Structure 1
Amino acid sequence: MPETSPNQQALRGIGSWLTLRAQICPEREAVVDGERRLSYAQLNQRVNRLARALQARGLAYGDRLAMLSYNRLEFIEIIMACAKLGLVLVPLNWRLTAAELSFQLGDSQTHSLVFDPGLAELAQGVMQQAELDFCLAVGQEEALGAHAYEALLAAQPGDEPQTAEPVTAEAPHIIMYTAGTTGKPKGAVLTQANSLWNAMNLQVDMEFTGADRDLLVLPMFHIGGIGLFTLPMLYVGATVVIQRTFDPAQTLELLRQEKISLFFGVPAIFLFLIQSPGFDPEAFAKVRLVMSGGAPLPPSLVEQYHARGIVLQQGFGMSEAAPSIATLPKEQALAKAGSIGRPLFHLQVRVADAQGEELPRGQVGELLLKGPNIMNGYWNRAEANEEAFAGGWFHTGDLARMDEEGFLFIVDRKKDMFISGGENVYPAEVEHAIFELEAVAEAAVVGLPDQRWGEVGRAFVVLKPEHKLDERQVLEHLAGRLAKYKIPKSVVFCEALPRNAAGKVLKNALREKGV
């Protein structure tokens, strides 16, 4: 694991952002959540009240605090109150079961929970299975025996909380549990410095200003909902407009109504938007940056948006990088469709062989990272950390290649590649070819055991409404585009693909379904 440098230790914690913003631009709009609109002065005061309330309940530096909630103002307040006190936030994915969430609480030794009353049933299940000392229900009313959030805030003054010692950027800030598609999920420990450098990387790349208005659609229990671009907006003094959960019609309305300038989503969001009966390119009139990440972006979807006059850019990141790694410049979005772009400013990358040695341009190897936005390590996972940081670089598990101009292309996840008849097959390549078919809305390819070839591909395809396609047509389309060993031996049509909260297809579920 990388060590924290003396210079990094001297950096102030990110909780200071609100303190400073309340002085520099107190009246500027910070957060919009439905009818609630808070200035930076108001947001800072509420965060101070919350921090003092948490202190009054005995929470101190290094303690973990879990948040189970839809996107809302209070989620941002919890993030920043944790930053001011040096607490460690454990965001909980409300799409998981109470048993899965209880594992994360037990693994991270978290004994305090803040929950959204809209998730009371799930919260109750968690309370019954986890060891909790303190629970807080968002809103005006007590729920499930938990304290009322607003009542605790009202009992505290709004001036800055005092801590035993200054909270610096070296403080652990978030334990973000990975999707856990295989085995038990691991908690990536992100420091406040990781979030600072993520904001700085994006600021250099995208030139954020205080005039920007970001639409927050990704769930905040995912690192994308926090780092793209919620925390960077607070860093530059811009505005975050919150959407509780994604709904295409509401998203399009918020883009128009709130004069949104920045919009980040996953490919599934952009697919559902453009397929929505109410899709209107005019909704994007004020949006200067439309970016996709979290999963491979099909070039065909980029072309669909381009045909509507919208530049859809590709970005790439992961929880362990807080999360940003690379972005594709706007002027290259169509010409280099399929590329994740170039590495961000304060980050080193290497496409490496099995020994960690850098490969020549054009060759496929594992993507390795080194930089100040990379996590400290996985919580309480010594063996995983030793493997992840072998040779002093973070091993992403992604197979990539870099072209002569320095643009990166993710070939596939290392674990998703399969070998058929001795040849490597990268499912993402096959999926991109399937996406060329007009009738295809979604596609995923997995390798399944085969007595003759070792493994063969199976394609799972979701069709657009009122479109028809059969297996023969898919295979004939691929026959002239891919080598024979890459072509799936079967095609299964389904209504939807299983996805995690980040929009990534759960290929392990498809493999289990296919065997």
Structure 2
Amino acid sequence: MIVDIPDLIAKRASLSADKVALEDAATGRTLTYAALDARAARAAALLAARGVGKGDRVAILSRNRLEFFELLFGCARLGAILVPLNWRMPPAELDGLIADAGPSLLFHGAEEEEAAAGLAAPPPAVHLDRDYPAALEAAPAGTWRGLWPAAETWYLIYTSGTTGRPKGVIYTYRMAVANYVNIGAAIGLASTDTTLSFLPNFHTAGINLHALPTLIAGGRVIVMHGYDGDAMIALLEARRLDTLFAVPTVYQSLLDHPRFAAAPLGHVRHWGCGGAPLPDALAVRCRDLGVRVCNGMGMTETGPTAFLVDPADAWERIGSVGTPQLLCSARIVDEQDRPLPDGTVGDLQFAGPGITPGYWRNEEATRAAFTADGWLRSGDLARRDADGFYWIAGRRKEMFISGGENVYPAEVENVLSAHPDVLDAAVLAEADPKWGEVGRAFVQLAPNGARPDGAALDAFCRARLAPYKVPRRFDFVAEFPRTSAGKIQKHLLA
């Protein structure tokens, strides 16, 4: 068992001092591993000078930027805990996260200044654009701990809250190394790789897919403040990206971009997708361009890498999330946690060194999340086929029973998304006096699509689904409320 982990950036700086670690996509500014190492040391000194000690929380409210990683590694050297906050939240929502995490210091950028000022009980703040550069320059490099206890908390990621109040998921140093092994082995991560960090850093994918693993490997991370389709296409056209991880909504946007199809897409060695279900129709559009999008599935609580399809199977197994990665174990069980045979839909559970130990200051939620023998309850329903590939059926709490038959909304949503005039769909259950429950579909139309009526959508579904799965009602929405990972917030639809 790993007890202590060497300071990852100090180690990488000793191996690759002059290699570029980070690059700002907007300005072209770069930091070598030696520079990142030095600035992380000064960040630790800055934190200590502001009264931050071991175990204290440090919040950051900011778009993606190089300083995030300086503070991430600065906290590690001090033993402090970084808390990335969701800059999309209004102050009233941020107040709940601040109260839960209890940070002793808050870093924020110019774009987040108003939100920071609107907090009910704000901790002392450091303005990343106005105050941080001079404060960092004035801080001594110092000498900090060279070993990080594997089981110690490094940072907290608050869940997106698709159904309710976010919980602080604990991330340890062991989880970071396990995720590096899981995703690194899956995509063949190399020190020569360049990846793009554009998904928000308050989301696990923003940190871990693939920014932090690429830094551990000694590659280059281009940091983009947020999603910018034109800028991303320009990087693809310049053959600057070797790996790319995105959520389905980003792939949808790229496919609709007029320059995407003509870009040299073959230069990207690995295309990863997760965060939300990948519609089959979207995967087929990518296949038509020769792009092997590797669908996967993980959770904030799994570090996040759990499943990923191998590129060799990406086109033949559309719809599957692949197999459990190197340091992740998965099982499918019944409601009494008894293993189920292949082909049977059941509860999906996880185990391994990449799994969170629990939720920040929430023992009740932590107990509820794990089985008696230590497996994480994902809340997802899935099946494994005879070849060992896993297929997600949807969330257990979303499944409903219509006329005695189980209905999995994810299956119905996938069919609706295949309609040429439909961009996306969400299916919820509603009460019915005859059948107990029936489906209600919310449909977002494609930008240039016609508006099919309910009868046309009903016929489209009936040609592809059993009658009890077909929604009884179709409602149209201009757009869906989504989490940072692109998941539809169904509780807001109801």
TM-score range, shorter chain: over 0.9
AA matched with 2:402: S
- The structural deviation recorded for 1:450 is 2.2
2:108, 2:127 within 8 Å by CA — same for their partners in 1? Answer: yes
Match of 2:226 among 245, 260, 271: 245
Query: Which residue is 1:94 aligned to?
Result: 87
Alignment of 1:290-301 (within 5 A): 290-301=271-282
Structure 1 residue corresponding to 2:416, chosen from 434, 459, 478: 434
Q: Is this contact kept in 2: 1:111–1:131, CA < 8 A?
A: no
Aligned to 1:25: 16
Paired residue secondary structure (1:415): helix
- Give the alignment partner of residue 33 of structure 2, picking from 40, 43, 54: 40
Deviations 1:308-365 (A, max 9, x none): 1211110111111111101001011111111100001111111011111110001011
Shift of 1:370: 0.7
- Residues in 2 aligned to 1:416 and 1:253: alpha-carbon distance in whole angstroms: 40
> What's the CA shift for 1:223?
0.5
Alignment of 1:177-188 (within 5 A): 177-188=158-169
Matched positions, count: 490
> How much has 1:36 moved relative to structure 2?
0.8
Shift of 1:289: 0.6
Residue in structure 2 matched with residue 449 of structure 1 by the alignment:
431
CA contact (8 A) 1:215 1:255 kept: no
- Of 183, 190, 204, the match for 1:202: 183
Q: Which moved more, 1:350-359 or 1:461-470?
A: 461-470
Alignment check: 8 A CA contact 1:281 1:308 kept: no
Q: Does 1:82 align with 2:75?
A: yes
Query: Any idea what SS the aligned residue of 1:152 has?
Result: helix
Amino acid at match of 1:474: L
Q: Is the 8 A contact 1:266 1:294 kept in 2?
A: yes
Please state whether the residue corresponding to 1:8 is helix, strand or coil. Answer: coil
By how many angstroms is 1:166 displaced?
4.6
SS of the aligned residue for 2:318 comes to coil
Equivalent of 2:287 in 306, 313, 316: 306
The equivalent residue for 1:370 is 351
Residue 94 (structure 1) shift: 0.9
Instruction: Please give the per-residue CA displacement for 1:285-304, whole angstroms capped at 9, x wherever unaligned.
Output: 32111111000001111110
Is 1:416 the counterpart of 2:409? The answer is no
Aligned residue for 1:277, secondary structure, equals coil
Quote the residue 2:256 is aligned against: 275
User: Secondary structure in 2 aligned to 1:241?
Assistant: strand
1:136 & 1:255 partners in 2: Cα distance? 35
For the aligned residue pairs, the C-alpha RMSD in angstroms reads 1.4
2:453 aligned residue (461, 470, 474):
470
CA contact (8 A) 1:281 1:310 kept: no
Task: Specify the SS of the correspondent of 2:5.
Answer: coil
- Are 1:460 and 2:460 an aligned pair? no
Q: What is the one-letter code of the residue matched to 2:2?
A: Q
Matching residue of 1:118: 111
Quote the offset at 1:131 in angstroms.
4.6
Partner of residue 492, structure 1 = 475
Confirm whether residue 8 of structure 1 aligns to residue 2 of structure 2.
yes
Contact 2:10–2:37 under 8 Å retained in 1: yes
Shift of 1:47: 1.1
Q: CA deviation at 1:245?
A: 1.1
CA distance in 1, matches of 2:338, 2:313: 29
Letter paired with 1:77: E
Pair 1:324-2:324 in alignment: no
Partner amino acid for 2:313?
Q
TM alignment of 1:333-344, pairs within 5 A? 333-344=314-325
Code of the aligned partner of 1:74: E
Q: Name the CA shift for 1:435/1:182 in 2 (closer, same or farther; >3 Å).
A: closer
Check the 8 A contact 1:65/1:90 in 2, yes or no: yes
Letter in structure 2 aligned against 1:79: L
SS at match of 2:296: strand
Partner of 1:136: 126
Equivalent in the alignment of 1:232: 213
Among all aligned residue pairs of Structure 1 and Structure 2, give the percentage whose two residues are the same amino acid. Answer: 38
1:16-63: CA deviations, max 9, x gaps? 111011111111111111321111111111111111111111111111
Q: C-alpha distance in 2, partners of 1:483/1:176?
A: 40
1:450-480 Cα deviation digits (max 9, x unpaired)? 2332221111111222211222211101112
Quick one: distance in 2 between partners of 1:70 and 1:490? 39
- CA drift of 1:135 comes to 1.2
Which stretches of structure 1, 4 residues or more, deviate above 4 A after TM superposition?
none
- Within 2, Cα distance between the matches of 1:432 and 1:162? 51
Residue equivalent to 1:211: 192
Q: Secondary structure at the match of 1:378?
A: coil
Whether 1:263 and 2:244 are equivalent positions in the alignment is yes
2:332 paired with 1:351: yes
Task: Give the secondary structure class of the aligned counterpart of 2:11.
Answer: helix
1:254 aligns with 2:248: no
Distance 1:258 1:105 in 2: 41
The Cα shift of 1:182 comes to 2.7
SS at match of 1:240: strand
Structure 1 Cα separation of the partners of residues 189 and 260 of structure 2:
27
Q: Which amino acid aligns with 1:452?
A: K
- Residues 183 and 506 from structure 1, CA distance in 2 versus in 1: closer, same or farther, beyond 3 angstroms? closer
Shift of the alpha carbon at 1:431?
1.0
CA displacement at 1:258 relative to structure 2? 6.0
Shift of 1:281: 4.2
Structure 1, unaligned runs of 5 or more: 1-6, 142-147
* Distance of 2:429 and 2:253 partners within structure 1: 27
Partners in 2 of 1:183 and 1:442 — Cα distance? 22
Report the more deviating stretch, 488-497 or 260-269. Answer: 488-497
Query: C-alpha separation between the residues in 2 aligned to 1:386 and 1:46?
Result: 39
Structure-1-length-normalised TM-score: 0.93
Using a 3 Å threshold, how does the CA distance of structure 1 residues 397 and 206 change in structure 2: closer, same or farther? same
Structure-2 separation of matches of 1:28 and 1:162: 23
- Verify the 8 A CA contact 2:158 2:202 in the aligned structure 1: no
- Counterparts in 2 of 1:236 and 1:193: CA distance versus 1, 3 Å: same
Q: Does 1:390 align with 2:384?
A: no
Distance 1:427 1:226 in 2: 30
| Counterpart AA for 1:228 | L
1:183 and 1:215 map into 2 onto residues whose CA distance is: 30
